[in-house]
Amino acid sequence: MNLPFHEKRRQQFLDEVYYKARLQGDKSFLNGYKKDLETDHSLTLENKADMTRIYANTLLTTIFTLQYTGGESIENLRNQFDEVVDAYLEAIKQDRLFQDEPELPMFLFGYLENYLDVIRLISFAILLRREDRIADIYSLFKDGEPDGEDALVEELLSRYLPDRPYLSECYHDLFINLLNVTADTPAAEKIEDMKLYLKEWYSEMEQTAFYDSHLEQAADGSGGYYGYWAFEAGAIAYLYDLDDSAFADHLIYPKDLVDFAKNFPDAAI
């Protein structure tokens, strides 16, 4: 059944004309990049590093995440997830070649938007039940400066990778509130901690480029809005099997992704 866009979209801010123009424009942009990377033999190592990083970041944000916001089926997104992870693997390969640093991390956790990309990738892998790609995502910063240094990242990785350290500090203070959900506390307290985290999330994003970007959507596809989502909150809710009925309707909580993860048959992985 084909629903009208205003019923299918997952956040009411998203404008249909902007959405279609942005997707079309970014897909065309990436097709051009892909062609150049494959055929332009004059590209330097620096060119390739820059282009593959832009390619991966665009694919994750203004195509993959935007499609989720626009109502794309979770099954289709699950199938597309390989393309996102593979793009980042190629990007870090090219960056390490250019910098001649085999342990160079893809992300600098101290920058909030870099950090959000990391936890978005890991959370997508968890909620789409693509556990098979978590080791690949980890390889993007394995043995680099941020490896083993952030409590939330380690909490998410620890369910899937062996011998992860137990930490209590995050690169960004906001995420400590989410870590409180993972403490050995009663279920009711976990729920209150999650509600507090969701309440404070957006105001803590003020320094990011996407803050208030829903106000800048243009008919030609210009603008930085691709959705406001705390995917990491969904991942924690799934991993801890929280009753999310008290916060399921929060704007930034990806309820249907959490339900998908909970109901996905393990035998199908």
pLDDT < 50: residue spans in the chain:
none
The 10s digit of each residue's pLDDT in 32-91 is 999 999 999 999 999 999 999 999 999 999 999 999 999 999 999 999 999 999 999 999
Do the Cβ atoms of 231 and 123 come closer than 8 Å? yes
Q: How far apart are CA 112 and CA 108, in angstroms?
A: 9
Q: How far apart are CA 114 and CA 121, in angstroms?
A: 11
Helical packing angle, 45-58 and 74-99, nearest 10°: 160
Do the Cβ atoms of 150 and 171 come closer than 8 Å? yes
Q: Is the pTM of this model over 0.75?
A: yes
CATH class for the region spanning 13-263: mainly alpha
Residue spans per domain, the chain = 13-263
Total residues found in the chain within this entry = 269
The residues, ordered by sequence, that sit 6+ positions from 215 with a Cβ below 8 Å of its Cβ are: none
